[in-house]
């Protein structure tokens, strides 16, 4: 889990890589909605399961990659059959 303000409303949001079949495969962003005091859940990947059973999301790092003032996400995946780590990005548009 990592924290950041992904929609620029100055309320802290968070992002998780959730587990499925003991591996972390689904990235969810929880945006805090100040009007309802609750979180709105966003799945950046569609369909919900971004990766197959051989791939695990091992780390998530919120960062503004393109310096536009909006928080983006770097996440690292591990693919077990090829034994490789990959750095991936989710950039807000």
Least distance CB 29 / Ca ion (angstroms): 10
Q: Give 41-46's long-range contacts (Cβ < 8 A, gap of 24+).
A: 44/73, 44/90
Least distance CB 81 / Ca ion (angstroms): 32
Least distance CB 60 / Ca ion (angstroms): 15
Question: 26 or 73, CB closer to Ca ion?
Answer: 73
Least distance CB 93 / Ca ion (angstroms): 9
DSSP H or E stretch at residue 25? strand 23-33
Question: 20 or 41, CB closer to Ca ion?
Answer: 41
Interface residues with Ca ion (CB under 5 A) are 5, 7, 9, 11, 13, 64, 66, 68, 70, 72
Question: 23 or 72, CB closer to Ca ion?
Answer: 72
DSSP H or E stretch at residue 83? none
Nearest partner of 55 among 30, 84, 91, judged by Cα:
84
- Are the beta carbons of 43 and 51 closer than 8 angstroms? no
């Amino acid at each position: 889990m990592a924290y950041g303000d992904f929609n620029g409303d100055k309320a802290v949001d968070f992002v998780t890589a959730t587990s499925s079949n003991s591996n972390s495969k689904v990235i969810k962003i929880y945006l805090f909605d100040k009007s309802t005091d609750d979180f709105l859940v966003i799945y950046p990947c569609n369909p919900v399961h971004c990766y197959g059973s051989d791939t695990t999301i091992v780390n998530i790092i919120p960062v503004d990659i393109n310096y536009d003032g909006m928080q983006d996400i770097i996440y690292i995946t591990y693919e077990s059959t090829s034994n490789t780590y990959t750095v991936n990005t989710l950039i807000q548009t």
